[in-house]
C-alpha cells in the first residue's frame, strides 16, 4: 500500500510538472501575422513564397486559375451585360417583372409610393449590374452551352468530327482538364501538408538529429523517459488561437528559442491554410463532376426530344422550350463553378 501511494504521489508530481499535455491557455488571440519564406533567424521554417502565401490566405484557388482571370486557362471575366443567356438580364422596369396596374389596390397612395420606390430600385440595380464583371468558364459560356444543347445528337450519330471537335467535345475536354488540375493541386497540398505536419512535430519535440544541441538531446531523452510531455500537432494548431502560445510552447519545451517558436507557429498556420483549401478543392471537384454529368444528360435528353419532334411536328415547340430551360440550368451551374474557382476568403 505504501509503495502504491508513493507511486501515485510520484505520478501526480510528474503530471503537475512539464509532463502535463500542452493545453490552450486562452482563445483571445485577435490576429497573428503570417510571414513568407526569408524571414531569417532560427525560426525560418516556412518555405512558402510571398505570392503563394498571399494566395493561400486570400484566393485559395488562385494557383489554379491564375491571378488575372483574363489570362486564365479556365475562367474568363466578362461584363455582366454581355452575358447573353435566358433569364440572366435584370429587369429595367417593373413592367418587365409584373403588371399590377389593373389591380384595384394599385391606385392607393401607399401602393403608388411603394411602386415608385420599387421602380427606382429596379432601375438602379439594372444600371449597377450592367457595369459589373462576372466570371465565366472558358468553353462553357452561354453561347457554347446553347450550341451544345441545340445541336444535340445521340451518341454515334455526330458528324462534327468532319469539321473538328464539336462544342460539346470541347466543353467536356475542358471540364476533364479542370478536374484533373483540381485533383493534382489537392494531392500536392496533401503531400506538402503531411510533410509539414511531421516537420512541425519534430521541431516542437526536438527530434534528435546531427545538428541537435546538448540541451535538445537531453530534452529528447527526458521525453523518452516520460518526464516531458510529447507535443502533438493538435496541440500546436490550437495555440494559433491563444495570446499565450509563445509562453505555453516555451514552458512545454524550454529548448525552443523565441524565433524557433515563431517559425513553428508560422509553419502550423500554413499547414492549416493548406488543409482548409482542401475543402474548397473538394467542393470545386464535386461541382465539375456535377456539371459534366448534367451537361451530358441534358444533351442526350435534348437529342431524344429532337428526334421525336422530327417524327411529330407538334412536339417541336416542347423541344425548344426544353432546350431553353436546359441552357439556363447549365449556365447557372457553370456560373456557380466559375464563382467558386475565383472565390475569396476575407477572414483566416
Angle at 156 between CA 302 and CA 330, to 5 degrees: 30
Confidence (pLDDT) at 301: 85
Q: Mean pLDDT in runs of 10 for the chain (348 residues)?
A: 40 42 60 65 68 82 65 64 51 69 82 85 74 74 83 55 68 91 92 93 88 88 87 89 86 89 90 90 93 90 78 72 86 88 74
The pTM is what? 0.70
Residue 163: per-residue pLDDT: 47
Whether 212 contacts 255, CB under 8 Å: no
Q: How far apart are CA 326 and CA 148, in angstroms?
A: 10
State residue 347's pLDDT score.
Answer: 60
Q: What is the pLDDT at residue 200?
A: 92
**Domain ranges in the chain?**
32-74+138-210+257-341, 81-135
- Tell me the HSE value of 223 on the side-chain side, using a 13 A CA sphere: 21
- Residue 183 pLDDT: 94
Give the pLDDT score at 89: 60
CA distances from 55 to 46, 197, 273 (A): 15, 20, 10
Residue 131: per-residue pLDDT: 57
**The C-alpha cell of 12 is what?**
501526480
Burial of 46 (0-12, 13-18, 19+ CB in 10 A): buried
Q: Give me the sign of the Cα torsion angle 153, 156, 157, 162.
A: positive
Grouping H, G, I as helix, E, B as strand and the rest as coil, residue 204 is helix
The length of the chain is 348
Amino acid at each position: 500500500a505504501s509503495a502504491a501511494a508513493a507511486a501515485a504521489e510520484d505520478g501526480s508530481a510528474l503530471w503537475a510538472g512539464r509532463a502535463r499535455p500542452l493545453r490552450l491557455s486562452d482563445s483571445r488571440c485577435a490576429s497573428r501575422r503570417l510571414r513568407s519564406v526569408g524571414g531569417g533567424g532560427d525560426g525560418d521554417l516556412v518555405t512558402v513564397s510571398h505570392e503563394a502565401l498571399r494566395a493561400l490566405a486570400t484566393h485559395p484557388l488562385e494557383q489554379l486559375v491564375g491571378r488575372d482571370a483574363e489570362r486564365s486557362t479556365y475562367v474568363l471575366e466578362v461584363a455582366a451585360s454581355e452575358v447573353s443567356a435566358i433569364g440572366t438580364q435584370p429587369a429595367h422596369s417593373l413592367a418587365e417583372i409584373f403588371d399590377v396596374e389593373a389591380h384595384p389596390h394599385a391606385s392607393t397612395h401607399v401602393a403608388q409610393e411603394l411602386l415608385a420606390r420599387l421602380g427606382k430600385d429596379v432601375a438602379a440595380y439594372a444600371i449597377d449590374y450592367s457595369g459589373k464583371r462576372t466570371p465565366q468558364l472558358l468553353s462553357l459560356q452561354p453561347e457554347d452551352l446553347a450550341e451544345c444543347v441545340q445541336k444535340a445528337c445521340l451518341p454515334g450519330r455526330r458528324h462534327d468530327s468532319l469539321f473538328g471537335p464539336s462544342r460539346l467535345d470541347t466543353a467536356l475536354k475542358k471540364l476533364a482538364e479542370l478536374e484533373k488540375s483540381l485533383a493534382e493541386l489537392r494531392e500536392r497540398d496533401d503531400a506538402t501538408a503531411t510533410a509539414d505536419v511531421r516537420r512541425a512535430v519534430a521541431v516542437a519535440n526536438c527530434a534528435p538529429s546531427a545538428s541537435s544541441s546538448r540541451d535538445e538531446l537531453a530534452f529528447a531523452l527526458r521525453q523518452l523517459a516520460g518526464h516531458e510531455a510529447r507535443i502533438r500537432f493538435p496541440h500546436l494548431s490550437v495555440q494559433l488561437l491563444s495570446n499565450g502560445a509563445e509562453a505555453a510552447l516555451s514552458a512545454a519545451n524550454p529548448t525552443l528559442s523565441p524565433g524557433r517558436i515563431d517559425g513553428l507557429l508560422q509553419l502550423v498556420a500554413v499547414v492549416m491554410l493548406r488543409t482548409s483549401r482542401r475543402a474548397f478543392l473538394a467542393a470545386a471537384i464535386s461541382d465539375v463532376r456535377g456539371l459534366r454529368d448534367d451537361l451530358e444528360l441534358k444533351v442526350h435528353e435534348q437529342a431524344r426530344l429532337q428526334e421525336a419532334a422530327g417524327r411529330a411536328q407538334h412536339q417541336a415547340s416542347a423541344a425548344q422550350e426544353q432546350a431553353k430551360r436546359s441552357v439556363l440550368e447549365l449556365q447557372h451551374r457553370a456560373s456557380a463553378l466559375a464563382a467558386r474557382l475565383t472565390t475569396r476568403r476575407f477572414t483566416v
